[in-house]
């Protein structure tokens, strides 16, 4: 009796296209960690948005006229500088901010810093690029320098919100982030109960800056909030001493002008 053998095809594992895997992963992430609105904190709908459509109007967007130095809103076009900038010499060239710092902004920022809602910065950075990108690029900055936090605070919080913001801005703006030049060497007392002169005194010698390379003469400081300007001023002073010819700044929020 002759045994007849037939060749059977070798079965190969079914390959799932990468796009399907990625979409499945994104779907699972959306279920387990749905994006939340930076204003109300609820799950954002429709899916794909970075903020609830109705919450956009709850933010107090900075509108012109503004102070020519710090960018705070002023009453009318005849006013060149806010009261703080008119009274104090500034070491920075000028700055730009997106939203006035009110109760709504304060709650949103607190969730970012103390509840690890870093994803809120996706919305704020996208809005900064969309609304201020052209003006930021016109600064012609060689580097985005996030305002550093003290190492002990970085360990407690796990991240620096200014650096997180800077890294989100870097790609769309085409400006590299530098975190090696500017350092915070001294932990300062809380700033919220101090006036502008008290805040600046509190920050003296808190920051240090290494000598800037010749290719880094124009720098853009990045921070979350500008209130009296003491932090930005302290950073600008040490960067000027380190060799910066021009120092600008950008922030999400800014205190109201006077």
**How confident is the model over 131-156, as pLDDT tens digits?**
999 999 999 999 999 999 999 999 99
User: Would you state the pLDDT for residue 202?
Assistant: 74
Which residues lie across from 157 on neighbouring strands?
Answer: none
Percent of the chain with pLDDT over 90: 77
Name the band, by pLDDT with cuts 50, 70 and 90, for residue 15: low
User: Would you state the pLDDT for residue 25?
Assistant: 42
If you average pLDDT over residues 72-89, what whole number do you get? 95
Name the band, by pLDDT with cuts 50, 70 and 90, for residue 105: very high
**Minimal CA–CA distance to 250: which of 134, 96, 138?**
96
* Residue with the larger pLDDT of the pair 58 and 228: 58
Q: CA of 38: how far to CAs of 30, 53, 56, 123, 179, in Å?
A: 16, 11, 10, 8, 26
pLDDT of 27 above 80: no
User: Model's pTM, two decimal places?
Assistant: 0.86
Percent of the chain with pLDDT over 70: 83
* Residue with the larger pLDDT of the pair 195 and 53: 53
Per the CB < 8 A criterion, the answer to whether 143 and 221 are in contact is: no
* Residue with the larger pLDDT of the pair 47 and 250: 250
**How confident is the model over 171-227, as pLDDT tens digits?**
999 999 999 999 999 877 665 666 666 677 778 789 999 999 999 999 999 999 999
User: Would you state the pLDDT for residue 106?
Assistant: 97
If you average pLDDT over residues 28-43, what whole number do you get? 82
Name the band, by pLDDT with cuts 50, 70 and 90, for residue 55: very high
Per the CB < 8 A criterion, the answer to whether 206 and 184 are in contact is: yes
Q: Encoding tokens for residue 30? A: 């959306």
pLDDT of 91 above 70: yes
Domains for the chain: give ranges and CATH numbers: 14-54 (no CATH), 58-252 (3.40.50)
Measured CA to CA, the distance from residue 239 to residue 144 in angstroms comes to 13
Name the band, by pLDDT with cuts 50, 70 and 90, for residue 30: low
Measured CA to CA, the distance from residue 8 to residue 147 in angstroms comes to 66
The per-residue DSSP string of 91-105 comes to SSSEEEEEEE-SHHH
User: Would you state the pLDDT for residue 247?
Assistant: 98
User: Would you state the pLDDT for residue 187?
Assistant: 75
């Amino acid at each position: 009796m002759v045994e007849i053998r037939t060749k059977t095809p070798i079965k190969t594992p079914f390959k799932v296209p990468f796009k399907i895997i990625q979409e499945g992963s994104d779907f699972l992430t959306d279920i387990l960690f749905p994006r939340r609105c930076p204003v109300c904190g609820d799950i954002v709908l429709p899916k794909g948005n970075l903020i609830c459509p109705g919450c956009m109007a709850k933010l107090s967007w900075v509108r012109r006229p503004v102070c020519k130095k710090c960018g705070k809103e002023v009453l009318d076009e005849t006013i060149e500088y806010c009261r703080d900038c008119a009274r104090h010499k500034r070491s920075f060239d000028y700055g730009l901010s997106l939203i006035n710092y009110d109760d709504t902004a304060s709650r949103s920022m607190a969730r970012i810093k103390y509840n690890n809602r870093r994803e809120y910065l996706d919305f704020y950075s996208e809005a900064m690029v969309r609304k201020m990108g052209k003006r930021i690029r016109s600064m012609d900055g060689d580097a985005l320098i996030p305002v550093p936090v003290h190492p002990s605070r970085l360990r407690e919080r796990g991240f620096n919100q200014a650096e997180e913001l800077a890294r989100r801005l870097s790609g769309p703006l085409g400006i590299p982030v530098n975190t090696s030049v500017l350092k915070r060497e001294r932990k300062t007392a809380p700033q919220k109960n101090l006036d502008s002169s008290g805040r600046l005194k509190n920050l003296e010698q808190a920051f240090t800056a290494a000598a800037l390379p010749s290719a880094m003469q124009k720098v853009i400081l990045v921070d979350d909030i500008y209130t009296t300007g003491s932090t930005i001023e302290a950073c600008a002073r040490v960067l000027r001493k380190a060799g910066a010819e021009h120092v600008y700044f950008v922030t999400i929020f800014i205190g109201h002008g006077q």
